């Protein structure tokens, strides 16, 4: 390691782990390393992806323990939602990387004969990755994978709110990579804008978090015209149609809402339930909650905790916004909130205005698809949408009429697990996408090339022009 970047040890609440001089030296070192061309070859990129995978395997036990310390995730959930998706993303990338790096042939108009045209995908350069606390490992390193595949360097900023995981990531990265290639900066997130984004130009900034902070990141990046990918949030609805398989829908809805105690950006934020099946669905949901939690959420090893007391207090404030028909028990000391179903919720209540980001599920009834659409439009651009129906027509109505990032029909969350699908928001839920090839595209530039051999040339382009040149040009262009 380069001693210049040896982290300082101020309190996390006071400063970033590197001072301003060290940050400048780190950015310059990464830019120098990138300009050396060391990251360009397929062999280098493939090798570094393998290095990252082996590092994850070595540190797996430490990472699982850290995730439990921060969010009370059990080993199954830690692997299923954090480590497992990272392994899958790395494996998918390794399988396809050589093909992704090949020039993409494009047709060439006859008027440019004998030229050929193609698109190459060079890397962007020095990238910055800022992640949230709810999936503190997966959401940070899942953008690092395509950055490595694209041939970039990277500076990582994990969330200080998931302190144990942040420290575990820092240990992993510092043991594995030289800082001029991949580095970690820890400390309070509110300092990143003023101490990192505003002073330094980055070739790409990848941020996952809230829309409010996304606006701040984008505004600061504009100073240097740094491109950004923003993975934000929103109120993601679940829609249960009259013809839905209610037992199946309840199982999927509960699975998705219990994951990480509801602290998931693409979880069902609220349910729109056709009025004819509301009572039946409620019974199915209650039964499924009791089954999956074995009747006691607090003692269940498969149920997480809220990240901190501040978020716990915020979530508890929503419990009075409707009629509690299931759950409602809380413990501030334990950061516990029992999965809670609310009915009779007014549309102006805070729980229907804010992104909940927790284990509280308001249920709203509707009578027509148009009525459901109007309710969704009160909080436009959800990051995800889930439709439970036996009708393709009903599914397509919502898929085509609602502007949302991505989602599922008769399932929840699982579209994120397919590396062949792009993941990203629209409007206030984000811009840009990643996962698989879409991640590689995000961290590379589509550079257009026309290659002209010298064995023949046409006089058509050159002065002095003969009168018949125009007729030829018209024939070629019409």
**Percentage of the chain modeled with pLDDT above 70:** 97
User: What sign has the CA pseudo-torsion 19, 21, 25, 27?
Assistant: positive
Sequence-ordered list of residues with C-beta below 8 angstroms from that of 316, at least 6 positions apart, any chain: 330, 332, 337
- Asked if 91 and 8 sit in the same domain, the reply is yes
- Asked if 197 and 305 sit in the same domain, the reply is no
- CATH code of the domain covering residue 142: 3.40.605.10
Encode pLDDT of 407-428 as tens digits.
Answer: 999 999 999 999 999 999 999 9
- Asked if 171 and 279 sit in the same domain, the reply is no
Encode pLDDT of 234-283 as tens digits.
Answer: 999 999 999 999 999 999 999 999 999 999 999 999 999 999 999 999 99
Q: How many domains does the chain have?
A: 2
- Asked if 32 and 150 sit in the same domain, the reply is yes
Residue 107 within a domain: yes
Q: What is the set of active-site residues?
A: 231, 265
- Asked if 132 and 226 sit in the same domain, the reply is yes
- Asked if 83 and 129 sit in the same domain, the reply is yes
- For residue 189, what are the domain limits? 3-232+432-442
Encode pLDDT of 131-164 as tens digits.
Answer: 999 999 999 999 999 999 999 999 999 999 999 9
CA triple 285-403-259, angle to 5 deg: 35
The 10 Å CB-count burial string (b at 16+, else e) for 234-253 is bbbbbbbbbebebeebbbbb
Model confidence, pTM: 0.94
């Amino acid at each position: 390691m380069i001693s210049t970047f040896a982290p300082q040890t101020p309190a996390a609440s006071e400063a970033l782990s590197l001072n301003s001089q060290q940050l400048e030296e780190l950015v310059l070192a990464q830019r120098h390393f990138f300009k050396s061309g060391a990251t360009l070859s397929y062999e280098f990129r493939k090798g570094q992806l393998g290095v990252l995978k082996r590092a994850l395997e070595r540190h797996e036990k430490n990472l699982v323990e850290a995730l439990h310390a921060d969010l009370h995730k059990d080993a199954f959930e830690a692997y299923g939602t954090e480590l497992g998706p990272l392994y899958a993303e790395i494996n998918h990338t390794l399988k396809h990387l050589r093909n992704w790096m090949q020039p993409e042939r494009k047709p060439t108009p006859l008027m440019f004969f004998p030229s050929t045209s193609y698109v190459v995908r060079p890397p962007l350069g020095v990238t910055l990755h800022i992640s949230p606390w709810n999936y503190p490992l997966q959401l940070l390193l899942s953008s690092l994978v395509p950055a490595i595949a694209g041939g970039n360097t990277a500076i990582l900023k994990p969330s200080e709110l998931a302190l144990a995981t942040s420290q575990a990531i820092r240990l992993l990265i510092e043991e594995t990579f030289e800082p001029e290639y991949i580095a970690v900066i820890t400390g309070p997130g509110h300092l990143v804008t003023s101490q990192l984004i505003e002073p330094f130009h980055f070739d790409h900034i990848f941020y996952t978090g809230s829309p409010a902070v996304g606006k701040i990141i984008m505004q600061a990046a504009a100073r240097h015209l740094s491109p950004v990918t923003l993975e934000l949030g929103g109120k993601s609805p679940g829609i249960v149609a009259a013809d839905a398989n209610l037992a199946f829908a309840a199982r999927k809805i509960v699975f998705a809402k219990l994951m990480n105690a509801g602290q998931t950006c693409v979880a069902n934020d609220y349910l729109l339930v056709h009025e004819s099946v509301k009572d039946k669905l409620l019974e199915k949901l209650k039964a499924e909650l009791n089954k999956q939690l074995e009747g006691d959420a607090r003692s269940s090893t498969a149920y997480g905790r809220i990240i901190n007391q501040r978020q716990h207090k915020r979530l508890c404030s929503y419990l009075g916004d409707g009629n509690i028909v299931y759950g409602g028990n809380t413990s501030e000391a334990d950061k516990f909130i029992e999965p809670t179903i609310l009915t009779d919720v007014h549309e102006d209540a805070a729980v229907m205005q804010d992104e909940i980001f927790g284990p509280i599920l308001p249920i709203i009834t509707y009578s027509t698809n148009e009525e459901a659409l109007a309710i969704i439009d009160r909080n436009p651009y959800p990051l995800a949408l889930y439709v439970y129906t036996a009708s393709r027509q009903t599914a397509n109505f919502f898929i085509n009429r609602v502007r949302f990032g991505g989602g599922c029909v008769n399932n929840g969350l699982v579209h994120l697990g397919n590396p062949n699908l792009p993941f990203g928001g629209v409007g206030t839920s984000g811009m840009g996408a990643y996962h698989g090839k879409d991640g590689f595209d995000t961290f590379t530039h589509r550079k257009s090339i026309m290659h002209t051999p010298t064995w023949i040339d046409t006089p058509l382009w050159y002065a002095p022009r003969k009168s018949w040149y125009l007729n030829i040009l018209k024939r070629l262009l019409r």
